[in-house]
Amino acid sequence: MELLRLTGRFGKQYAGHIAAVVVLQLVSTLATLYLPDLNADIINNGVAQADVPYIRRVGLLMLAVSLAQVAAAVGAVWVASAAAMKIGRDIRRAVYDNVSRFTSEDMSHFGAATLTTRATNDVQQVQMTTLLFFNFMVTAPIMAIGGVIMALRQDSGMSWLVIVAVVVLAVVVTIIAALLMPLFRRMQQRLDAINGLLREQIAGIRVVRAFGREEFESERFTDANAALTKLSLNIGRVFVTMFPVIMLILNVATAAVLWFGGHRVDQGLVEVGSLTAFMQYLMQILMAVMMGVFMLMMLPRAIVCGRRISEVLAYEHTAPPAENQQPDASEVERGIVEFTDVTYRYPGAEEPVLKDIDFTARPGTVTAIIGSTGSGKSTLMGLIPQLYYPTSGQVRLGGSVAMVPQKPWLYRGTVASNLRVGKPDATDDEIWEALRTAQAHFVEDLDMPIAQGGSNVSGGQRQRLCIARMLVARPDIYLFDDSFSALDAVTEAKLQEAMTAYTKDATVLVVAQRVASIRNADQILVMEAGEIVARGTHEELMRTSETYREIEASQKAVTA
């Protein structure tokens, strides 16, 4: 079972905590089983004989046993809680670490919504079930088995009552578990669906408003919410039926003990104290079964969640074939970017998005990539920091890489915390220098707050802050994936001129839309339908490439 393997894998390092829980619960359970026996002793030998000193002596012993039981129970819960929370923490960390190494292909295999659910809600379910297991793993079986033994010591003639009550309760619990398992599996799927829908609508709220689709999206969310609500109500109906049935079994068992036990007392076959103890032991036995019920309430959902978490942890990251793998960086000249016969096909696509890509970018040079929308420019850039792996061919890199993606992203925090992502020990002077170079003159204070995703700054400001972040890191290879699209021509020209001091000895690759911004590039790659159809300097391409001339002509026509 995946749940057992998962908790065993992350729980073995807390063997000391688990051993302490076992010992404390053993003490607590044995004390609980001993108390009814002492109570019967007081009734039979103290109250019946009017022996006050005996009652006082045994009563003090009962008090001591009760205190020991309370102390052991509290200690067991405290240690079990600590162990369960630490196991949950470690599982979340493992899921996060594994997902953080996913390529874009791996992310699309699962989807952001289900990964969010698996790293939060699923782990929480496993964590809570582990806590219940730690609390009941010793108590329930020992109390059930010990209760049977102690009850038979008091009056073996009514053992059939114990058997009937336990069998009936076990049948009810089994039926409930069989009903809950598929419902909980569907519950997690519905949670995935509503998380994905909510995430999509929040991220695309501007598009929704721009096209006046608020009502349509509201209906979509209402349908998903109603489906989750309906399923939750079905699970709730099982639970509300379960508790009355279990209480009915407990009360019928109590009434049966009083009825049949009363006749046995009248016949002189059992003493009153023993009958009282038998009834208490029967309650303890049924309470132990109740503990199992509580476990089963959580277990079906936890099994589903454990399986989903294990799928993420066991998922093998997409990796290139051995012949396409990136060689050790020490084997490649620092700053080199080399593509050799690289082809890339998205999973499930009929045609490759990149075909037979060959080029080399060297330190101290600027390589620009231009082409129509959908020609594969961003995909090519994504292969360099290994956001994707080539389907065939090889990408060779030498040194560190930093990238400003097509959709720049900032983290919630401050300007300083965002710019220190690439270099945590960067000084304030380094940050200010990078901001000035990136033309981010709007920043007056390094503690200026930044919202999640950079939603509290404009698109151009977001791009400039991301460029400044890359400048602070000072990588060997700079990647600009259409990173100047939100900047006006004057700001872009100033920024590129100011960056020269940072990039003069580094390798720079730029995806651009405007010919004017790449005129001075050392090498321009013209892409069309996933292929490099021309390469050279601006002057060379103007003489030799019809595609390049068409791009420039179209842009001149727009600006004219």
115-145 pLDDT per residue, tens: 888 888 889 888 888 888 887 767 777 777 7
pLDDT at 322 over 60: no
Query: Higher model confidence: residue 264 or residue 414?
Result: 414
Token reading at 466:
């991301």
Q: For position 153, what pLDDT does the model report?
A: 65
Nearest to 367 by CA among 359, 355, 375, 357: 359
**DSSP string over 121-145:** IIHHHHHHHHHHHHHHTTHHHHHHH
Average pLDDT of span 416-430: 91
Residue 189, H or E segment: helix 159-203
pLDDT at 89 over 60: yes
Token reading at 160:
């059939």
C-beta neighbour count of 240 within 10 angstroms: 9
Out of 282-291, 301-310, 323-332, 447-456, which region has the weakest mean confidence (pLDDT)?
Answer: 323-332
Q: For position 193, what pLDDT does the model report?
A: 82
Q: Where are the alpha helices (DSSP H) in 269-337?
A: 272-314
The mean pLDDT value of the chain amounts to: 82
Q: For position 510, what pLDDT does the model report?
A: 92
pLDDT at 326 over 60: no
Most confident of 31-45, 185-199, 271-285, 360-374: 360-374
Spatial neighbors of 168 by CB under 8 A, at least 6 apart, are 249
Most confident of 242-256, 262-276, 285-299: 242-256
pLDDT at 329 over 60: no
Q: How confident is the model at residue 468 (pLDDT cuts 50, 70, 90)?
A: very high
Q: For position 151, what pLDDT does the model report?
A: 67
Q: Are 471 and 437 in contact (CB under 8 A)?
A: yes
Q: For position 327, what pLDDT does the model report?
A: 54
Q: Distance (Å, rounded) from C-alpha 468 to C-alpha 457?
A: 15
DSSP annotation of 484 reads T
pLDDT at 429 over 90: yes
Give me the percent of the chain exceeding a pLDDT of 90: 18
Query: Higher model confidence: residue 265 or residue 21?
Result: 21
Provide the whole-model pTM: 0.66
pLDDT at 393 over 80: yes
| Distance, CA of 551 to chain centre | 45
Q: Under DSSP, is residue 332 helix (H, G, I), strand (E, B) or coil?
A: coil
Most confident of 45-54, 126-135, 245-254: 126-135
Q: Are 249 and 168 in contact (CB under 8 A)?
A: yes
pLDDT at 321 over 90: no
Q: For position 337, what pLDDT does the model report?
A: 92
Out of 16-30, 112-126, 166-180, which region has the weakest mean confidence (pLDDT)?
Answer: 166-180
Q: Distance (Å, rounded) from C-alpha 306 to C-alpha 4?
A: 8
Query: Higher model confidence: residue 252 or residue 266?
Result: 252
Q: For position 46, what pLDDT does the model report?
A: 66
Q: Are 275 and 300 in contact (CB under 8 A)?
A: no
Q: For position 419, what pLDDT does the model report?
A: 92
Out of 47-56, 408-417, 501-510, which region has the weakest mean confidence (pLDDT)?
Answer: 47-56
Spatial neighbors of 541 by CB under 8 A, at least 6 apart, are 524, 526, 534, 535, 548, 549
Q: For position 469, what pLDDT does the model report?
A: 93
Q: Distance (Å, rounded) from C-alpha 131 to C-alpha 133?
A: 5
